[in-house]
Structure 1
Amino acid sequence: MACAESKVDLETVPLTALNVTVRKKLGLYLNPRNAVAADWMAVAEAMDFSYLEIRNYEVAQNPTTRILDEWQARSTDTTVGKLLSILMKVERSDIIEDLRSLIDEDVRRYCENLKKRGSDPPLQVPEVDSCVPRTPERNGITLEDDPEGSPELFDAFICYCQSDFDFVHEMIRELEQTEYRLKLCVFDRDVLPGSCVWTITSELIEKRCKRMVVVISDEYLDSDACDFQTKFALSLCPGAQKKRLIPVVYKPMTKQFPSILRFLTVCDYTRPCTQAWFWVRLAKALSLP
């Protein structure tokens, strides 16, 4: 892509050209809920985000930045020009007028850097990218892996903290050792020691497991590992389009249920009247294509 000094076609300039300052200022205009002017929700709708996705982004500290990042990740042709067109469509030309000088400066710097590199800009990745294993670290990471052959695959990754391990054992008995014959990925049982936890976890969640069961408890809310796993899985499937995450509550909680999962249907083991259906419902959800 060539950027002429005199005139730049913003439809050819990728959204990555916009730096942090512009993105933050966009948030200052769009984040506040506004009964008169269009806010970030109207912009997200114009970007073709679904109703459930938009409701999910409400919990974000800066929803404008979140939708820009998600929009940019979804397609290789999100451009500065398309963003300005959307702002015009939702009748926020005031934002364009106020930020145009900053946007033009970001585009100018982007074009200058592009000329210095003497090459086309890198392609934008259309999804959260842990991709096919690229390093030996991602080969042979589970007990049944064949480093020279196909990786071991699972029906579900189990996200849990150590204090909930007794319930995980019960889950193994009910889902793996019965007629359901599901294959669960339990980190302490299935993953070989010695590699980076975060790299292996992202590989398993994205590439090896069809779904993720999140065991919710008070202790879960304090676990950095569980927080990372949950947010990573949510980023792979905004709006729960593929029923990728299944929250499970197996004991009463004293703390508030995590807000990032509040829009998902919960499998609740704490209600005696529905316990008889608990494992059937969970097994059915994990067995879906």
Structure 2
Amino acid sequence: MACGISETDLKSAPLIALNVSVRNKLGLYLNPKNTVAADWMDVAEAMGFSYLEIKNFERSKNPTKTILDDWQARTTDATVGKLLSLLTEVERRDIVEDLRPLMDEDVRKYHESLKQRAEPPVQVPEVDSCITRPSSEGFGFTLEDEEGAPELFDAFICYCQSDFTFVHKMIQELEQTEYKLKLCVFDRDVLPGSCVWTITSELIEKRCKRMVVVISDEYLDSDACDFQTKFALSLCPGARNKRLIPVVYKPMKKQFPSILRFLTVCDYTRPCTQAWFWVRLAKALSLP
């Protein structure tokens, strides 16, 4: 396991740094109602959730995951260091002792990934002699980068493969009509051979004004969609700048993702509002 992780590193690492395995382990400790030790309710109260919010969280199959997602979405204070502090505050030092090595490892990887994104890759002389643009400048991974400047988009479309038919309709309605919007659709606009996670982060953070999240049952099972959504939320906690726009285009059997429940949804499933759907979505994406 990693060693030498400082308190500063922990405090500066957002909750998104923790991987699914650690979050699941937290759930194993906190989900069961406990009359002796503090459970997820005590942690939620320490996070600042109200009584009514906590009662609503009881409906979730995994309340620990729900409170972590909601806490992460609503405040910039949601860091790994703060979570450890809250667990200590509610006297769950057993969790801190057992999971701290795993959390330290996740934080180390998170900071390493930030460092790799900030620094250009080291190249051997043979490669340096080639005429290429450094990846740190954001060139060379979308179709139109060859024109001399990074290609910019009105919105990044977060979707899973099974929903691509609707994404194609979105392209027709928003790009090929009077709206003339420019969407970033990964399968169409990103050149093959790029590192998926690095390029996705670059596009969401620096090249796209907003992100449209196509919500479906399949979306909930997609690791890529989960990463993209949480990364975008970490850039704009609570979506104060209307950065994320959830879209539901077909009925769902699973529960709507709690991490997005604070945002107004653009719902295509309601026949009475379908006539306004594309107008509303286009207007939201056209805002400064």
Question: 2:145 — aligned with what?
Answer: 145
Question: 1:16 — aligned with what?
Answer: 10
Question: 2:271 — aligned with what?
Answer: 272
1:1-289 paired onto structure 2 within 5 Å? 13-14=7-8, 16=10, 62=64, 66=68, 74=76, 83=85, 92=90, 134-135=120-121, 136-137=134-135, 139-146=139-146, 150-253=149-252, 255-261=253-259, 263=261, 264-289=263-288
Deviations 1:150-171 (A, max 9, x none): 4222111112233333322221
Unaligned runs of 5+ in 1: 1-11, 18-22, 111-121
TM-score by length of 1: 0.59
Give, in whole Å, the separation in 2 of the partners of 1:131 and 1:180: 34
Give, in whole Å, the separation in 2 of the partners of 1:208 and 1:25: 35
Give, in whole Å, the separation in 1 of the partners of 2:35 and 2:241: 33
Compared with structure 1, are the counterparts of its residues 45 and 207 closer, same or farther at alpha carbon in structure 2 (3 Å cutoff)? farther
Secondary structure of the equivalent of 2:145? coil
Structure 1 residue 178: Cα displacement: 2.8
The question of whether the paired residues in 1 share the 8 Å contact of 2:153 and 2:208 is answered with yes
Secondary structure of the equivalent of 1:252? coil
Secondary structure of the equivalent of 1:139? coil
The question of whether the paired residues in 2 share the 8 Å contact of 1:160 and 1:220 is answered with yes
Give, in whole Å, the separation in 1 of the partners of 2:257 and 2:163: 20
Structure 1 or 2, whichever has the larger Rg, is 1
Structure 1 residue 70: Cα displacement: 5.8
TM-score by length of 2: 0.60
Give, in whole Å, the separation in 1 of the partners of 2:149 and 2:169: 29
Compared with structure 1, are the counterparts of its residues 222 and 38 closer, same or farther at alpha carbon in structure 2 (3 Å cutoff)? closer
Compared with structure 1, are the counterparts of its residues 287 and 16 closer, same or farther at alpha carbon in structure 2 (3 Å cutoff)? same
Secondary structure of the equivalent of 1:157? strand
Compared with structure 1, are the counterparts of its residues 238 and 30 closer, same or farther at alpha carbon in structure 2 (3 Å cutoff)? farther
Unaligned runs of 5+ in 2: 1-5, 12-22, 122-133
Give, in whole Å, the separation in 1 of the partners of 2:193 and 2:67: 36
Q: CA RMSD for the aligned pairs?
A: 5.2
Task: State, as a whole percentage, how many aligned pairs show the same letter.
Answer: 67
Secondary structure of the equivalent of 1:234? helix
Structure 1 residue 79: Cα displacement: 6.7
